[in-house]
Amino acid sequence: MKPTAVVALGGNALLRRGDAPSFDNQLANIKVAAKAIAEIAKEYQVAIVHGNGPQVGLLALQNLAYDKVSPYPLDVLGAESEGMIGYMLAQELQNLMPDTQVATLLTRIEVDANDPSMLDPSKFVGPVYNEEEAGILAEANNWIMKRDGEFVRRVVPSPKPISILDKVSIDTLLAAGQVVICCGGGGIPVCRAEVGYQGVEGVIDKDLSATLLAKQLNADKLLILTDADAVYLDWGTDNQRALRKATPTELSEYDFPAGSMGPKVEAATDFATFGGRAYIGALEEGLEVLAERAGTCVSM
């Protein structure tokens, strides 16, 4: 039986900051991701969790273009992005691994409808803007905007994941030897209702969902791939420096941006505390990161 690795792909790794949100740009990055994951899958049973920040934001913009009906809520747009990205990933992986089955599973994840993030949005979605563009869009659509590096982006609520409702299906697919793409975009956020569940207007952070999945699967490793090549201290200053190895205790001494590296560090710390080994690094260096020759390794 192969050891299990949960691989988390950032939405910004699949669509780089500043890139036009075109199919061709996303496909080019997905090909890079698929190549790295196909190599990992030779040695590990792999579950893939992907982000959807740029993609779900683009869908929200397209959603506004047709004003004959009310805009669809974020949970529905999240499901749409799961299908889009999951299809592209599955196809490219299957092309590289013709003898291995690859499954994409729309995944519902329970959240608390009263999560504090509902009042303090922090999850970046959609393309980047300059200050003038952001101001016009914020006023026109009643959006909240925050700075993301040198750009400005829309932010939405990001409730924390509580439970993966489709966990049994994930277990079944992995037990059958399939590569599983699940919890896409952090999963579709739902909360308990009078009868069953109902959707929640938000986008779950995929790194936190990936950690929850890794813990529930008792995975051996959690690999968080993004558009940054490591965790940096004093990012954006003349003193910035990469952390190559760190413990949860060491990372707790620093503050990282809530909308970008913060959730990745929180996820890696959580999984390392659980007893696993977590890695953060660049998409194109996935194998090197896992081998601890690049990126940041977090362990006890």
Residues recognised as catalytic:
11-12, 123, 206, 264
In contact, 299 and 51? CB cutoff 8 Å: no
State in Å, rounded, how far the first CA of the chain is from the last one: 25
Measuring CA to CA, how many Å separate 133 from each of 53, 153, 186?
19, 10, 28
Exposure string for 258-291, b = 16+ CB within 10 A, e = fewer? bbbbebbbbbbbbbbbbebbbbbbbbbbbbbbbe
How far is the C-alpha of 138 from the C-alpha of 143, rounded, in Å? 4
DSSP string spanning 42-68? TTSEEEEEE--HHHHHHHHHHHHH-TT
- CB hemisphere CA count around 44 (13 angstroms): 20
How far is the C-alpha of 170 from the C-alpha of 30, rounded, in Å? 22
DSSP string spanning 150-200? TEEEEEE--PPP-EETTHHHHHHHHHTT-EEE-SGGG-EEEEE-SSSEEE-
H/E run at residue 236:
none
Burial class (CB in 10 A: 0-12, 13-18, 19+), 94: middle
